[in-house]
Chains A and B, each alone.
Chain A
Amino acid sequence: MSRQADDGDVLAIAETWAKAGRRLAIATVVETWGSAPRPVGSHLVIDDEGNFEGSVSGGCVEGAVVSEAVEVIGDSRPRLLSFGVADETAWRVGLSCGGRIRIYVEPLTA
């Protein structure tokens, strides 16, 4: 029901994956402006093969975040990404303006 519960699930999945030996990155929505579909604090966990759980948007930027995350896992350097949420997403939720989000992608280190 709550945002906290959603995030808890993703963080629990991240722990399970890491303990199973999978290399992974965690992406977190750190700032939003306008009609961003997921609140600040929302997480996506991604492994080095591009498998992921959770969400940081309504599905419009996950693809880009996943490919950045694979690079983050490769070089162990965090990145701060900015996206303008696609117009079709804004339209789908009944808003005339698009939003903007900043997403932090960091490696989960041992």
Chain B
Amino acid sequence: MDLKLLSTLNGLRRERRAAVVVTRLADGAARLVTEGDDLAGDPLRAEIAAAFRSGRSGVVAGPDGEVFLAAEVPPPRIVAVGAVHISQAMVPIVRAIGWDLVVVDPRTAFASPERFPGVQLHADWPETVLPGLALDPYTALAAVTHDPKIDDFALVHAVERGCFYVGALGSRKTNARRRERLVGSGLTEADFEAIRAPIGLDIGAASPAEIAVAVVAEIIETFRRRTIGTPS
């Protein structure tokens, strides 16, 4: 590895952008692949795509000997808009899988440290908080307040920022009204279709804790099965 490659890599890391360093072990020749690079024609395209998807580093067989793929991917995080019972139940689940959780809700009675001990909590409007959080393709956004005044901005912003997952709570009827508000005023039809609503895997979840499981499971599935290395 040379200093130029290292500096570029560290810059990408600071920006929460994923990269894979491909090093030929025979002689140390190294190259950097950034997420979104065109992998067509790359002899290691499948292995590199897998490294991006899993975040796991490892030795693979290359065309001329052993190659080490160092996956440098930002840790995934979930931003929950709504300091409600569901997001409270998400706290231990997200902690167990080793991801980061951020909770945003302007209603200070909901977004209290007593209800969310040890969680990065912002008791302010999404309009104020989200731009500073620098949402990115390693961020999921779950809007769970049921209140358009709070959820709508967050949904549009998350789509614009390329979050790997955007989901919203609410019945199909609620979502139809949401479509009327958002399509044409911020989102295209295709953007709106990409929002997962009603939020969460359809496992018949009934309690807030069960819904939290369904939401986090859907976020994990979306992250681990996302397409990598193709132009978006």
Contacts and interface: CB of A to CB of B under 8 A. Distances in A.
A110 B10 contact: no
Interface residues of B, number: 25
A61 interface: no
Nearest to B18: A4
A12 B3 CA distance: 11
B66 to A, nearest CB: 8
A109 B1 contact: yes
Query: What bracket does the count of chain A residues touching chain B fall in?
Result: 20 to 34
Contact of B6 (A1, A15, A30, A80): A15
A109 B70 contact: no
B2 A4 contact: no
B62 interface: no
Contact of B28 (A12, A40, A106): A106
Residue among A15, A41, A102 facing the most chain B CB atoms (10 A cut-off): A41
Nearest to B24: A78
Nearest to A11: B10
Contacts of A28: 68, 70
B23 A4 contact: no
A11 B6 contact: yes
B81 interface: no
B68 A104 contact: yes
B68 to A, nearest CB: 5
Contacts of B58: 30-31, 40
Given A104-B23, A108-B1, A41 B57 contact: yes
A63 interface: no
Nearest to A41: B57
A106 B72 CA distance: 18
A109 B10 contact: no
B56 A40 contact: yes
A107 B70 contact: no
A18 B3 contact: yes
B215 interface: no
A75 to B, nearest CB: 12
Given A30-B68, A104-B25, A4 B6 contact: no
A38 B2 CA distance: 24
A18 B6 CA distance: 10
Interface in B1-56: 1-3, 6-7, 9-10, 13, 23, 25, 27-28, 55-56
6 contacts: A4-B73, A7-B72, A15-B3, A30-B57, A41-B56, A109-B1
- 9 smallest A-B Cβ distances: which pairs? A41-B57, A78-B28, A109-B2, A2-B75, A106-B28, A30-B68, A40-B57, A18-B3, A8-B13
